[in-house]
Amino acid sequence: QSALTQPASVSGSPGQSITISCTGTSSDIGGHNYVSWYQQHPGKAPKLLIYEVTIRPSGVSNRFSGSKSGNTASLTISGLQSEDEADYYCNSYTSNNTPYVFGTGTRVTVL
């Protein structure tokens, strides 16, 4: 099972919106509505931002939103802030022998 494909880096200025893509196949993203997104600051454990494609856990800012179209999921960060500078990972449930797969990760830089 190969990792889901994410851009290595995305950048934006404070206040702007950015979108991170996560591309898989019909066996994972395209076949299930179990896509989740994680934010990881250096030296810290990942934090759940989105689950089931679009749902934010309690306490997560509404500046984070998720969506899916076909085999590609997306995370949008609106009103970019300096504290959003971190690594972001997508994850999907799959129909393959390995039931969960992470994305390759995206480094977000706030200019």
Partner 1 sequence: QVQLVQSGAEVKKPGASVKVSCKASTGYFLHWVRQAPGQGLEWLGWIHTSNGGTRYGQKFQGRVTMTRDTSISAAYMELSSLTSDDTAMYYCATEYQRGLDHWGQGTLVTVSS
Residue whose CB is less far from partner 1, 1 or 76: 1
Interface with partner 1, residue 88, by CB under 8 A: no
Point out which residues pair with 66 in neighbouring strands.
75
Report the C-alpha gap between 19 and 74 in whole angstroms: 6
Residue 82 phi, psi dihedral angles, 5° rounding: -60, -35
Place of tokens 């999921």: 73
Closer residue to partner 1 (CB): 19 or 33: 33
For residue 100, the one-letter residue type is Y
Q: Which stretch binds partner 1 (CB under 8 A): 9-17, 18-26, 49-57, 71-79?
A: 49-57
Binding to partner 1 by residue 45, rule CB under 8 A? yes
For residues 75 and 61, is the Cβ–Cβ distance under 8 A? no
Query: Which residues form the interface with partner 1 (CB under 8 A)?
Result: 1, 3, 34, 36, 38, 40, 45-48, 50-52, 55, 57, 89, 91, 93, 96-105
